A and B are shown apart, each in its own frame.
Chain A
Amino acid sequence: MTDHNQPSLGWSREELARRVAVDIPDGSYVNLGIGLPERVARFVPEGREVIYHTENGLLGMGPPPAKGQEDPELINAGKKMVTAIAGASFFHQADSFAMIRGQHIDICVLGAMQISEKGDLANWSTGAPGDIPSVGGAMDLVAGVKTIYVITQHCTKTGEPKLVENCLYPLTGKSVVNRIYSDLAVIEVTPQGFRLVELAPGVTIDDVRRRTAAKLLPPG
């Protein structure tokens, strides 16, 4: 098997972000992780109002600023400069994390290193010596947000499956992931394990199974 990373297979990163955005209902309060999850904000379907929370202290995060409008004191959790929409609010860290830990945020979209069939998530540390462990708000988000979506490439850059029976990396949280959106498929975490919800165009369930290191149940 040598074709894990053929770019032609499955959704592109943009298409993947668009696919996640479709599943975010009108009126949701949403926290987006750093990197690929941030792209989801660009694809909110017409007619929906979604409020983005960034845990460094802003509810109502808008798009990146126009040139000349950047403010180094208006940033997101990834420390990128952003804007605040009309109707936005600023608050301190304890209030910001009360929104997260007090289960006020509806959906969080995060990246992943590994996800187990029980919904365990590893996304903060390889545990390797010399690695500087950095957790940020990831453990608070998975413990406190009602619905956790993972957006990720199905396999690592070297072709290793990220969907596994048991995570080998240190956990961010146990049994926390609800859904996985990969470049190949949308997969639900159920009490029985991974269950296929939807395939990317041109992808078969066997394509996904070959790249998944755990049982994948058919839709149903």
Chain B
Amino acid sequence: MINKCTASLAEAVADIFDGATVMIGGFGEAGSPIELIHALIDQGAKDLTVVNNNTGSGHVGLAALIANGQVRKMICSYPRTTGSEVFPALYRSNRIELELVPQGTLAERIRAGGAGIPAFYTATSVNTPLAEGKELRTISGREYVLEFGLQADFALIKCACADRHGNLTYNKTARNFAPIMAMAAQTTIVQTGALLDLGAIDAEAVVTPGIFVDRIVTVSDPAQESKLVAEGRRYP
């Protein structure tokens, strides 16, 4: 029998090791698996390379993971967001690495990583500083830059509904990076708002097929990052 449900958040993230590459879903707070991130803070793995579009806000969620000194390097497209204080301060004092990737290239690198495509050419960033040092190739008269697929040891993502096979659906724009990160990680860990019986998710409506998912934890009433930030909350 296949049952990917895990008893607790702590158990779900227990084997994340020092030096791991961890993809974390979310675009700003939408889709951010805040409870899984807090469990990773409790767990304490360090020297992590984290892939996320942003760098978190305030002192909860991803920003708290960074503030806790667990992240060696961020791979992201937009580290300077409203309410983002932790990353900018560390970056300015050279205490964290940044690999800046255009958002579409980041998405495609993750998708490629999950689909077994080691590299691809794209027109994005040609003739800009972000293409410096990269291989260029002219195809049908247009110049392209070579970008490599991106894989991870773990992905932490959030969804709206799951079943025990790991079939997932999402809520609106909280979907963002989750489906492709689920494909690109060796171990994909999901926090779901609801766990449904098999068959309750219409097969036509499944967004992430269960094959891409390894562990599921139910968090039926997830915290809202912007609310925690507004209240001045810190984790831990």
* Inter-chain CB contacts under 8 Å: number: 144
Smallest CB separation, A27 vs chain B (Å) = 24
Chain A residues within 8 Å of B178, by CB: 92
Interface 9-mer from B13-21, B42-50, B117-125: B117-125
Is A91 an interface residue, CB under 8 A from the partner? Answer: yes
Q: Digit string of B149-188 for contact with A (CB within 8 Å is 1, else 0)? A: 0000000000000000000001111111111100000000
Is B79 an interface residue, CB under 8 A from the partner? Answer: yes
Q: Is the CB of B100 within 8 A of A143?
A: no
CA distance A71 to B173 in the complex (A): 10
* B:89-105 near A, CB below 8 Å: 91-92, 98, 100-105
Chain B residues within 8 Å of A139, by CB: 102, 104-105, 124-125, 128, 130
Interface 9-mer from B26-34, B60-68, B196-204: B26-34
* B:2-44 near A, CB below 8 Å: 27-31
Majority SS of interface residues in chain A?
A: loop
Is B108 an interface residue, CB under 8 A from the partner? Answer: yes
Q: Is the CB of B77 within 8 A of A58?
A: no
Interface 9-mer from B80-88, B133-141, B213-221: B80-88
CA distance A84 to B172 in the complex (A): 9
Q: Is the CB of A173 within 8 A of B127?
A: yes
Smallest CB separation, B24 vs chain A (Å) = 13
Smallest CB separation, B165 vs chain A (Å) = 20
Q: Is the CB of B30 within 8 A of A72?
A: yes
Given contacts A57-B173, A93-B177, A134-B79, contact A140 B30 (CB under 8 A): no
Chain B residues within 8 Å of A97, by CB: 103-104, 107-108
Is A171 an interface residue, CB under 8 A from the partner? Answer: yes
Q: Digit string of A104-137 for contact with B (CB within 8 Å is 1, else 0)? A: 0000000000000000000001010010111111
Chain A residues within 8 Å of B126, by CB: 143, 173-174
Q: Is the CB of B180 within 8 A of A58?
A: no
* A:72-107 near B, CB below 8 Å: 72-75, 79, 84, 90-94, 96-97, 100-101
Given contacts A101-B104, A133-B100, A139-B102, contact A92 B177 (CB under 8 A): yes
Given contacts A75-B28, A92-B175, contact A140 B104 (CB under 8 A): yes
Which A residues lie at the B interface, using CB under 8 A? 54-58, 71-75, 79, 84, 90-94, 96-97, 100-101, 125, 127, 130, 132-140, 143-144, 170-174
Q: List 25 A-B contacts (CB under 8 A).
A: A55-B104, A57-B175, A58-B172, A58-B173, A93-B27, A93-B104, A93-B107, A93-B176, A94-B108, A101-B122, A101-B124, A127-B129, A132-B91, A133-B98, A134-B79, A134-B80, A135-B100, A137-B104, A139-B102, A139-B128, A143-B122, A170-B128, A171-B127, A173-B126, A174-B128
Closest 3 CB pairs of A and B: A140-B104, A97-B104, A93-B107
